[in-house]
Amino acid sequence: MSGFVTLGQFIIEKQAEFPYAKGELSRLLRDIGIAAKVVNREINKAGLVNDILGDVGTVNVQGEMQKKLDVYANDHFIGALTSGGECCMVVSEENEEVNHIESPVSKNAKYIVAIDPLDGSSNIDVNVAVGTIFSIYRRKSVEGRPTMEDVLQKGTEQVAAGYIVYGSSTMLVYTTGCGVNGFTLDPSIGEFCLSHPNMKIPKDGTIYSINEGNYKCFPDGVKKYIKYCQEEDPATHRPYTSRYIGSMIADLHRNMIKGGIYIYPTTAHAPQGKLRLVYECNPMAFILEQAGGRATNGYQRILDMEVTELHQRASIFAGSENMVLLAEEYMRQYSPLEKAVLC
Ligand code: AHG
Ligand code: MN
Ligand code: MN
């Protein structure tokens, strides 16, 4: 046997460390890994096959134009979770309401999955990295149809979370609360192989990512922090480098490896922030914290935020711990919560 460990082997080995685990979570993670490979195959064909690029002509619950691949990825992830039998409910960016899975094997399953099937989908038509984000909760009710209480759980209640980045290579990164591990898809054997064991995000970094086109409408704390990033100071390696891909997954994956901060603050167009708490911010916050990073809304830990709506939005400051701490200090000083004003 050669030296590599596949995602499937790794999941089974980890399960063996928990003698009372019955394997449901392992099977759920395996189902997500399989769906990721199918979606990856279609993404890689974008450009070759005419009927997968472009808009469907419909808008999702957020009022955003759906791409054909948004819909494809959504259908495939939900399909894999439905046939896998370990998930009783799916919350997706692409569906206004929850998806109950009511087959005899699934309806009393223990887990609920929240997904952003395709993150950064506006980049798909131009061959730039996109991603998938997932978050797994254990239902609170014991059986029958899961309730809203089952799904509106705080980020601290997540039992697992992960992302797939479809970039120059395809990677799946996940945590079950015991560190973070990354797997790279080897296309020659069609397997995710452990390539980034025990990932740790650097405590400091020199890259900041934010859509500066919205600068005029940023809170003062964010404006001052950006000025700080741009100042000349060789001792602190400033000015920092600005990088903004427009796929949060790709920006945050780069930060995971190189260090950096990603900010999507409140703006005039997005007074609560743009990104969604349940299937974008919470899973990324869980992964970042498990890797030694930090994720807040500028004032409060993302994972502690109350969840009141499926598609709730949040502002996010995420990445290297010391960078996020400093940005929060700017927020406290120049945009104190009680005086938060939008332009
Ligand atoms: P999605 O494609 O799932 O709707 O998410 C897009 C998100 C995020 O990935 C990205 O960083 C951000 O929106 C980009 O927004 P702006 O174009 O407003 O910068
Ligand atoms: Mn997204
Ligand atoms: Mn999306």
88 and 211 together in one domain? no
Residue at 61 is within a domain: yes
Q: Is 70 in the pocket of ligand 1 (CB under 6 A)?
A: no
187 and 218 together in one domain? no
- Inter-residue contact 76 to 32 (CB < 8 Å): no
User: Residue 78: which CATH number?
Assistant: 3.30.540.10
Residue at 138 is within a domain: yes
Residue at 159 is within a domain: yes
Q: Is 276 in the pocket of ligand 1 (CB under 6 A)?
A: no
Residues whose CB is less than 8 angstroms from the CB of residue 200 and which lie 6 or more positions away in sequence, other chains included? 291, 292
CA–CA gap between residue 155 and residue 193 (Å, rounded): 28
338 Cα to the center of ligand 3, angstroms:
32
> 72, 122, 262: which to mutate for ligand 1, most atoms within 8 A of CB?
122
Domain total of the chain: 2
17 and 139 together in one domain? yes
CA–CA gap between residue 286 and residue 299 (Å, rounded): 17
Query: For residue 166, how many other CB atoms are within 10 A of its CB?
Result: 30
Distances (CA, A) of 285 to 25, 282, 313: 20, 5, 14
124 and 222 together in one domain? no
Residue at 115 is within a domain: yes
Of 196, 228, 248, the position where a domain reaches its end is 196
Distances (CA, A) of 99 to 78, 79, 229: 8, 11, 43
The model's pLDDT over 145-193, given as tens digits with 9 standing for 90+, comes to 999 999 999 999 999 999 999 999 999 999 999 999 999 999 999 999 9
189 and 213 together in one domain? no
The model's pLDDT over 145-156, given as tens digits with 9 standing for 90+, comes to 999 999 999 999
Q: Give the per-residue pLDDT at 1.
A: 43
User: Residue 320: which CATH number?
Assistant: 3.40.190.80
- Inter-residue contact 69 to 119 (CB < 8 Å): no
Q: What is the mean pLDDT of residues 131-148?
A: 93
- DSSP 3-state of 220: helix
Give the pair of three-digit tokens for residue 339: 């005086």
166 and 295 together in one domain? no
13 and 81 together in one domain? yes
Angle at 275 between CA 111 and CA 170, to 5 degrees: 65
User: Structural domain of residue 160, as residue ranges?
Assistant: 7-196
42 and 169 together in one domain? yes
In ligand 1, which atom is closest to the CA atom of 64? Answer: 4
60 and 161 together in one domain? yes
Pick from 30-34, 59-63, 147-151, 180-184: least confident = 59-63
Residue-averaged pLDDT of the chain = 92
Q: Give the per-residue pLDDT at 20.
A: 63
Of 162, 196, 230, the position where a domain reaches its end is 196
Q: What is the mean pLDDT of residues 7-19?
A: 85
Tell me how far apart the terminal alpha carbons of the chain are, to the nearest angstrom: 61
122: confidence class by pLDDT, cuts 50, 70, 90? confident
Of 196, 229, 249, the position where a domain reaches its end is 196
